[in-house]
Amino acid sequence: MSQKTSITTKILIGMVLGLILGAMLNWLASGIDWVQTYLVHGLFHVVGAMFINSLKMLVVPLVTFSLICGVFGIGDVGMLGRVGVKSFGLYLLTTALAISLALTIAILVGPGKSDSIQIQNSGFQGKEAPPLTDVFINIVPSNPVHAFANGEMLQIIFFVILFSIAMLMAGKAGEAIASGAEYLNKVMMKVVTIVMDFAPIGVFFLMAKTFSEQGIALILPMAGYFFVVIGCLLIHALGTLNLLLVLLSKLNPLTFMAKIRPAQIFAFSTASSNATIPVTMQSVEQRMGVNNSIAAFTVPFGATINMDGTAIMQGVATVFIANVYGIDLEFSQYLTIIAMSVLASIGTAGVPGVGLIMLAMVFNQVNLPVEGIGLILGVDRLLDMVRTAVNITGDAVVTCIVARGENQIDLDVFTDPEAGVITEVELPFKHEMDTP
Ligand code: ASP
């Protein structure tokens, strides 16, 4: 095993070992108090949560500095507009394709049609969908400090782009800030590398915690629903997205899939597209050669507005719950479901479990019983992990397509299997420092 590949391999090993340990504890030790208190809710929870926090900690500064560099690097407001329109259009397209695929397959397979599922009042309460007008109004931050403090991604993107355009107009003052931002961006990328060094341990504890709480047996009564969602997720990630990549960018999907794997593992372990932003950016920029000027915008934008995997879950869940309750949906309702889930994904951030809240919004629109969501709650965490991996795959595919269209991808880097592989971090010990 070469030194170069060791971090990704170690993360994978951490994931598998954590999964096995968690599943075994769930099976053998779910009634043992000290295991639950000191291991599952103690050690596993604390280390896992510290690791997720350390990833989230990177997101706002990384997006800010690299977006300043990106916009300043483009230096052309026309191109910026083109990148914005193209990525927005592609994100909507991939989400619409995802949910249409899910609805079609779910209608054909018909999960939930057998009468073995008991309807009970689960007490699941949905939220009202925020009016679409609010979604647009909220893109503009009334207080940027509040937006940064709360990690409101669309507001941050809006403010930083505006600020960077002003930098372009401000001559020398703008140039000075841009060179500062470039240094800060470089340093932040190093912070990402340091955090990634702890990833195998973090991922191990996250997996151990999740699987010691989630018995695999939970899946059995929901097997129909569960496997239709997983099947659609795989078809979309391996089929639709790769097809788009080939058709629209002529890039090799096998190379793409190999290089996006670490980001997929992070998304799977954290169930959060937002927390995965630093790793997705690292993968597309350093492993695939996408220019920072594109990725700095499309990756955080996609993590917020593009959720193909979540849309797939919503499509299958709608058909499943309609089947369980014996409700026949009309064609116009299916169209409403497609439109609603595409729109709902724009206004909601990529954080764990948000898909269910969006689903409640969709149900309200088509008058399906929101408490039906209680039926799928039990298996949602596992599906959340898989669909988050699909969500970030969609972000990366669109990033590559847009970058290729703008001639902002270095094909030598893309095809080089060793490019940008994260190696072990060598901390600068005293004798190695060359600065006083
Ligand atoms: N966890 C998903 C994400 O962050 C959203 C969801 O489906 O709940 O992308």
Q: Extract long-range pairs of 172-176: CB within 8 Å, 24+ residues apart.
A: 174/72
pLDDT classification of 76: cutoffs 50, 70, 90? confident
Q: What is the mean pLDDT of residues 274-286?
A: 93
Q: Is the pLDDT higher at 360 or at 284?
A: 284
Query: Ligand 1 centroid vs 356 CA: distance in angstroms?
Result: 9
Q: With 70 as the cut, is the pLDDT of residue 434 above it?
A: no
Max distance between CA atoms of the chain, in angstroms, equals 75
DSSP assignment, residue 11?
H
In the chain, pLDDT over 90 holds for what percent of residues? 54
Pocket test for ligand 1, best of 373, 387, 392 (most atoms within 8 A of CB): 387
Mean pLDDT (the chain) is 87
pLDDT classification of 184: cutoffs 50, 70, 90? very high
In the chain, pLDDT over 70 holds for what percent of residues? 90
Measured distance CA(298)–CA(403) in Å, rounded: 9
Q: With 60 as the cut, is the pLDDT of residue 317 above it?
A: yes
Secondary structure element (H or E) that encloses residue 314, with its range = helix 308-324
**Which of 116, 148, 88 shows the shortest CA–CA distance to 301?**
88
pLDDT classification of 1: cutoffs 50, 70, 90? very low
Q: Vertex 198, ends 193 and 203: CA angle to 5°?
A: 120
Q: Which atom of ligand 1 is nearest to the CA of 272?
A: 4
Q: Looking at residue 192, what is its pLDDT?
A: 87
pLDDT classification of 378: cutoffs 50, 70, 90? confident
Q: With 60 as the cut, is the pLDDT of residue 435 above it?
A: no
| Contacts (Cβ under 8 Å, ≥6 apart) of 226 | 219, 379, 382, 383
Q: Is residue 351 within 6 Å of ligand 1 at its C-beta?
A: yes
Instruction: For residue 347, count CB atoms less than 10 angstroms from its CB and return exposed for 0-12, middle for 13-18, buried for 19 or more.
Output: buried
Q: What is the mean pLDDT of residues 264-288?
A: 93
Q: Are 392 and 256 in contact, with CB atoms under 8 Å apart?
A: no
Give the three-class secondary structure for 43.
helix
Measured distance CA(320)–CA(223) in Å, rounded: 11
Q: Looking at residue 436, what is its pLDDT?
A: 39
Helical segments of 198-272, H only? 199-213, 223-234, 241-249, 253-270
Q: With 90 as the cut, is the pLDDT of residue 3 above it?
A: no
Q: Is residue 341 within 6 Å of ligand 1 at its C-beta?
A: no
pTM: 0.88
Q: Which atom of ligand 1 is nearest to the CA of 392?
A: 9
Query: Ligand 1 centroid vs 350 CA: distance in angstroms?
Result: 5
